[in-house]
Amino acid sequence: MTANKLSKNDTPVVAILTGSPSDLPVVLKGRDVLDGLDIPNDVRVLSAHRTPRETAEYIAAAEKQGVEVFIACAGMAAHLAGAVAAHTMRPVIGVPIASGALQGVDALLATVQMPPGVPVATVGVDGAKNAAFLAARIVALTHAEVHERLVAHLEASKKRYD
């Protein structure tokens, strides 16, 4: 691990994208995890279908600014995670959102079933918290202080069950 120091006020290293403002209640649970671990992050509403050009431009700019992991949250068609993965070599974590008639089953299947060469890690339906913890583990590979904060958080979590 390197000695890179991160705090909430730094340039984001995790970007959380969501396809619709209606998804924000779920998305913000993931942001809260990242904020609690002092991991700089950015939340944006961008759609693979409605704003594809803006989405691609944001991904390119975010990479240049230092984003290391993308979290893509989407319901129904759930194309966002694949669209993000098509535009970056950074890890992408998909969060299917419970919405529509199928309550997230369609989003889960769409997010999990990526074509070869377009990998997306996928967490459970409405699993923004787990997506944030996975992003934290990825960031912790190169940021020792994030590793330390994540270990301390996990130890504190274990004590709640003692």
Summarised one tens digit per residue, pLDDT across range 78-120 is 789 999 999 999 999 999 999 888 888 999 999 999 999 999 9
- By DSSP bridging, strand 69-75 and strand 121-122 are unpaired
Three-class SS of 65-83: HCCCEEEEEEECCCCHHHH
> Helix, strand or coil for residue 95?
strand
pTM: 0.92
- Pick from 2, 61, 12: which is nearest to 35 by CA? 12
pLDDT digits (tens, 9 = 90+) for 4-52: 555 556 899 999 999 999 999 999 999 999 999 999 999 999 999 999 9
What phi and psi, each to the nearest 5 degrees, are found at residue 113?
A: -90, 75
